[in-house]
Chain A
Amino acid sequence: MIEVEGLTKRYGDFTAVSQLSFTVRPGEVLGLVGPNGAGKTSTLRSVAGIIPPNGGSIRIAGIDLVADPVEAKRRLAFFPDEPRLFEYLTVSQHLAFVARIYGVTDHDELAAPLLEELELANKADALPGELSRGMKQKLAIACGLLHSPAVMFFDEPLTGLDPLGIRRMKDSILRRAREGCTIVLSSHLLHLLEEVCSHVLILKQGTKIADGTIAEVSAQFANGETDVSLEEIFMRATGGSES
């Protein structure tokens, strides 16, 4: 479960996120959407404990992220838009490294099926330089899943993936949600979010425009119309511009 209350993030004089509050429960997938510069990445990085917020409270699986960041981080995984990998570590060495960091003692039993599931088993001894963009993404996901996190944050998870990769990523996210994980993801691909997310949060200039299930948010901006797409909702909610 993720509980965010009054989150504020500033860069100097510029306020990237202002007084943002939302809750995501286990099994829910929240889609974070907004125009460029709306504060999506700042929000994700703040709630994942990567950058310190300037105000507000964040609780991950019941643990206060600011007060006890180490325990909170044990329960979460953050997947950046660009897979960040170590150039000189092979696929299996990446998993060994992460296992030591998170203290995953049964690493051998977990790593093998994970690599099988993500179709990386035959690439165990390959370096990141030998992997395609999609495979790098999978390796980053394998590293993130190794410690069985209860909460997951995905920043633009579908960027750079081919149609097959997008399909598999969507299936993977939905499966984790069904297993009880709490998931937040940001993306500009609204039609794909519509298929994956149970909830949506629309941001503009760092403030919340709308928050709720897709049906609730649709109702808020549908003006009585039926079958309004998320894209249309997004345009109406944000006014179709960045500013």
Chain B
Amino acid sequence: MIRALLYLRGYSLLNLLRTRAQRLRQPKYLLGLGAGILYFWFFFFRHLPGGAGLDRGSGVDPLQFIFAAFAVLGLIRIGSAWLAPTPRPSLDFSEAEIAFLFPAPATRRQLVHFKLVGTQITILLSALILTVLTQRGAALGGNAVTHAIGWWLMLSLAHLHNLGAAFTVARLVEGGMSRARRQLIVGGVIFAVIAGIAWGAWTSAPDATAWMSAWQEQNTGDRLGTAVLAAYVREVSGTGIIGWLLLPFRVALAPFFAPDVAAFLRALGPALLLLAAHYFWVMRNAVSFEEASIAAAEKRALLVAKLQAGQRPLSTGAPKPRKPPFPLRPGGGWPEIAFLWKNLLSTHPWLGPRALGPATLVTLALASLVSPRLWFIPIIAAVYFVLLGPQLARQDLRTDLVNADLLKSYPLPGWRIVLGQLLAPTAILSGLLWLALLALFVTSGRTNSAPAWLTVEFRLSGLVCLALLIPPVCLLQLLVPNAGAVLFPSWAMAGRQTRGGGGIEVMGQRLIFVAGQMLVLLAAVLPAGGFAVLAGFAASLAYSPAAAFLTGSAMFLLALAAEIAAGIYWLGHRFEQFDLSAESVK
């Protein structure tokens, strides 16, 4: 049986790799792979030994904080595995695995083995990625191989421990132990361990101040004292009763933190023994996991279906009916308004038009009360909305691409559908930017150190002009990713795939996509900006800075409007020709 399971694992992996290799024949995936590899090389691999790495000398090592955070999270995870385990232990089987393997003549032990082998593939990949990530600037000692094995050991132990804890708790529950009694015993053990550590630190730890001073005399350069603190913690954790209480953790971590190969080999034996002990513990305690695994697989399948249907994957529970953002009259022309209404209805009510009044009052109050020295905060917010807003506000064609057939059956030309779809995110982003602009206007009026040219007239004309410019700029920005979704639907849909759809090439595709968006946006804004500057300059010579603002803005608005109109019309035509099924058969 185990040979059949290994066959399934092996060939699934092989076929996955083969499929990935085959799709590289499509230029979009090949380009994506190139971009993905370049990204990884630029951000990670070039820092590996031999590359132009960061300074590995003394000083603040941020990885010590990261490791400390990992250690704390790991301890919390282990504690929660005992104190608050899942009601029924489950293993991560897919629906197909359940359909084929659960009715098959396989023992429970064989199924656990199958899952453990499958998990090892994930753990090995994770260990590899973590090794690459933690090579940056870490003064850890050892080398990439010892770190990779160290990570593999730590991740494997964590996985086996959680599984063993879940099985053991389930076995205790099956044996009649109540939840309260179990928590009392486990809580008591954890309390005893913590008390033992505290007692050990109190009685046998060296004096912290003296020890750190002595350490700093020998090791210079640790300006913030992080290394000395870490060294002190290492010293304390290895002495007296604390050393014994933390022995399993020390054994598990020792290979990773070994300073050289000899120390690594010495640490490897005990760590492997600990791993073997965990394995036997898991196999000995394996209890019924089938029912919970089926439920977990169904939940995962639902999540995948939601992702593929373009729905919110992280929504907790079923959505609730919402009050429409405004009354929608059935007739009256302008069917685009129906799309605005529908898409606003699909988002949070606090992003709708009813929230604009209260939000304006709150903004005015805040801008009037806070220190005028904080005038830059609205600018930071505005930059954030401009740069990231179009990626976050997706109540448009990107979300509705799965309903393309339905949209195309409506008696509307493509440009009206596109325009309608763009209205909701444009309204949301415009509202947010207007609030930021209002806040900037109020705070800039309260500062005492304003330059002479920043008159009330100038600020008012600036407020009006920028307020008028915001919606078309948002519309233009949103046009670009929506055009991307129609022109390259498989790229836009890639984010909805979870099994077998990802990979470096898909990540690279997204990078190219975002870079393309920025370029197109720049190409659209630059000519309009050029017109605006020329017209504004001429007006400033003839009249005043405020007039320059008005004239420049008007020119910018006109140029943008022409570009947007052309863009929407063109995209509408492409949407009429769009066929998602043709994309999926390639």
Q: Please give the residue numbers on chain A whose beta carbons come within 8 Å of chain B beta carbons, in ascending order.
A: 11-12, 14, 41-42, 45, 48-52, 69-74, 76-78, 80, 84, 86-90, 93, 96-97, 99-108, 125-127, 129-130
Q: Is the CB of A86 within 8 A of B337?
A: no
The complex places the Cα of A93 from the Cα of B321 at a distance, in Å, of: 10
Query: How near does chain A come to B454, taking the closest CB pair, in angstroms?
Result: 45
Q: B341 to chain A: which residues have CB within 8 Å?
A: 97, 100
| 26 A-B pairs whose Cβ atoms sit less than 8 Å apart in the complex | A11-B581, A11-B582, A12-B585, A14-B585, A51-B579, A52-B577, A52-B579, A69-B576, A73-B411, A80-B405, A84-B403, A87-B346, A88-B322, A88-B345, A88-B346, A93-B321, A96-B328, A96-B330, A97-B338, A97-B342, A100-B328, A100-B332, A100-B335, A101-B411, A104-B331, A106-B330
Q: Is the CB of A127 within 8 A of B318?
A: yes
Q: Please give the residue numbers on chain B whose beta carbons come within 8 Å of chain A beta carbons, in ascending order.
A: 311, 318-322, 324, 328-333, 335, 337-338, 341-342, 345-346, 402-403, 405-406, 408-413, 576-577, 579, 581-582, 585-586
Q: Is the CB of B403 within 8 A of A86?
A: yes
Interface contacts beyond A76-B409, A80-B406: sample of 12 additional A-B pairs, CB < 8 Å, sorted by A: A11-B582, A69-B411, A70-B413, A73-B409, A78-B409, A80-B405, A86-B346, A87-B319, A89-B346, A102-B411, A103-B333, A127-B321
Main secondary structure of the interface of B (DSSP, over half): loop
Q: Is the CB of B408 within 8 A of A126?
A: no
Q: Which of B320, B403, B409 contacts A49 (CB 8 A)?
A: B409
Q: A106 to chain B: which residues have CB within 8 Å?
A: 330
Q: B402 to chain A: which residues have CB within 8 Å?
A: 84
The complex places the Cα of A129 from the Cα of B305 at a distance, in Å, of: 13
- Nearest chain-A residue to B318 (Cβ)? A129
Q: B586 to chain A: which residues have CB within 8 Å?
A: 12
- Nearest chain-B residue to A51 (Cβ)? B579
Q: Is the CB of B582 within 8 A of A93?
A: no
Q: Is the CB of B335 within 8 A of A103?
A: yes
The complex places the Cα of A23 from the Cα of B410 at a distance, in Å, of: 23
Q: A100 to chain B: which residues have CB within 8 Å?
A: 328-332, 335, 337-338, 341
Q: Is the CB of A97 within 8 A of B328?
A: yes
Query: How near does chain B come to A108, taking the closest CB pair, in angstroms?
Result: 7
Q: Which of A14, A70, A84, A103 contacts B331 (CB 8 A)?
A: A103
The complex places the Cα of A101 from the Cα of B411 at a distance, in Å, of: 8
Q: A74 to chain B: which residues have CB within 8 Å?
A: 411
Q: Is the CB of A101 within 8 A of B410?
A: yes
Q: A105 to chain B: which residues have CB within 8 Å?
A: 330-332
- Nearest chain-B residue to A104 (Cβ)? B330
Which are the 9 A-B pairs with shortest beta-carbon distances?
A: A105-B331, A99-B330, A107-B330, A100-B338, A73-B411, A88-B346, A74-B411, A84-B406, A78-B409
- Nearest chain-A residue to B315 (Cβ)? A87
Q: Which of A71, A84, A107 contacts B411 (CB 8 A)?
A: A71
- Nearest chain-A residue to B580 (Cβ)? A51
The verdict on A93 contacting B579 (CB below 8 Å), with A73-B410, A78-B409 known, is no
